[in-house]
Amino acid sequence: MVYRTRGSRTSSGRSFNGGRILLALVIAGLSLLSYCSSRSYNPVTDETQYVGISPEQEIVLGLQAVPEMVQQFGGEDADQQAQALLDKVCNRILENSGAGDTEWPFECTLLADDQTINAFALPGGQLFITAALFDQLETEGQLAGVMAHEIGHVVARHSAQQIAKQQLTQGLTGAAVIAAYDPDNPSSQQAGQVALLVGQLINLKFGRDDELQSDRLGVRFMSEAGYDPRAMIQVMEILAAASDGNAPPEFFSTHPNPDNRITRIEDAIQELYPNGVPDGLDQ
């Protein structure tokens, strides 16, 4: 019989460590392989992406989430005139921009929530804006800026990319937790928790990048539809005023602060119209 004293390591302990590290390497390798094999070309954004689900799955996922989202924000708004204006603006963008050359079955919905200033897109083309934000907007062009931005999220397949990134992050951080854990050293659990936190912060950064890309796409789409893209800057100013100085620090937010986005939007407008925004675009 072999006795093991406290703090000593037997050959079985070394075998356990080696097996744990091998398992971690296998998990990490499979995660990377799965991520790299999910490459897809997006003709609208002209970039190669890594997406976690098919377009058909995106559409189904978005449709399944609609009832819960509508309920969460107080149901659909009863103002049919306001909904008609929203439909008009969305249809104009989709019928006159590159966003309309995609496979997504877009649908825009005005939500009854008059307290939460928000607009968002579900995977596959379901777009929403709350009454609280809708009522803050002063022009049709500003509404176009909001909805063109949300259309940008769908066209760029940000949800599918985020799913792929989360799958990769979960796989790599899971492997790190397995490799770092030592049953003889309880403090090793802390290393695993740090790895998980790092993974979460990486995904937050991707979220901010998605927002900035949607701003650029929004400028493009609303301009193609005949709206003055400077209206999007006005939207950012409205959002900044609505925050009343209480917005969380940018680094820990999935949305960049409006003040910081304005500069990026101005750059996108300058790139689109190097000689200045032409006259005749709708405000």
Hey, what are 12's tokens? 């079985």
Cβ contact 168:35 at 8 Å: yes
Residue 95: Cβ-neighbour burial (10 angstroms; 0-12, 13-18, 19+)? exposed
How far apart, in whole angstroms, are the C-alpha atoms of residue 58 and residue 67?
Answer: 16
Give the residue numbers marked as catalytic. 150, 215
Hey, what are 282's tokens? 């709708």
DSSP 248: P
Hey, what are 173's tokens? 């951080």
In this structure, the strands spanning 119-121 and 126-130 are antiparallel
Hey, what are 220's tokens? 């493009």
With CA atoms as reference, report the closest residue to 116 among 129, 125, 104, 99. 129
How far apart, in whole angstroms, are the C-alpha atoms of residue 149 and residue 255?
Answer: 13
E runs forming strands in 11-125: 39-42, 47-50, 107-111, 119-121
